[in-house]
Amino acid sequence: MKKIIGVLVSSLIILTVLYYVLVYFITYSTGVRSGELIKISRKGVLVKTWEGEISQGISGAQIFSFSVEDKNKKVIENLQKYQGKYVKLSYKERYATFFWLGDTKYFITKVTQENSPHFRGKNNVDE
């Protein structure tokens, strides 16, 4: 009986570790999205995570929600600096997420300020 319980507990631990590795280290997709940064905030009750949104259309009808890991300090600083401006976000999408990482499956890895395609005559990028 002890042997069966030991095998079950070991199997459960191995499956848990494999699931964590799959979710955290293996990305489903990577890409780039552009839009007006409309929100960046730190939220949560027990565990605080960085969450944000960009508007990808003139009317704000298409919203892209994303998360930022705490270890990406430079990305968080840039997002706070570019609040309300047109930005380009590089991201990685995971198969799932854990509550301590963020609310979404999309995690921002890089952010740069861009010129808005809606106002081509104006240069709105801070140099």
- Taking every pair of C-alpha atoms in the chain, what is the biggest distance, in angstroms? 77
The span from the CA of 69 to the CA of 76, in Å, is 9
The span from the CA of 61 to the CA of 127, in Å, is 30
What pLDDT, on the 0 to 100 scale, is given for residue 74?
96
Averages of pLDDT over runs of 10 residues in the chain (127 residues) are: 90 93 90 94 93 83 92 95 94 92 94 82 53
By the 8 A CB rule, do 103 and 50 touch? no
By the 8 A CB rule, do 79 and 69 touch? no
Torsion of Cα atoms, 94 then 99 then 103 then 108, to 10°: -50
Report all structural domains of the chain as residue ranges with CATH numbers, in order of start: 27-113 (2.40.50.140)
What pLDDT, on the 0 to 100 scale, is given for residue 59?
66
What pLDDT, on the 0 to 100 scale, is given for residue 90?
97
Q: How far is residue 96 from each of residues 63, 67, 99, measured CA to CA in Å? A: 20, 12, 10
What pLDDT, on the 0 to 100 scale, is given for residue 120?
61
Sign of the dihedral through C-alpha 123, 68, 96, 14: positive
What pLDDT, on the 0 to 100 scale, is given for residue 124?
56
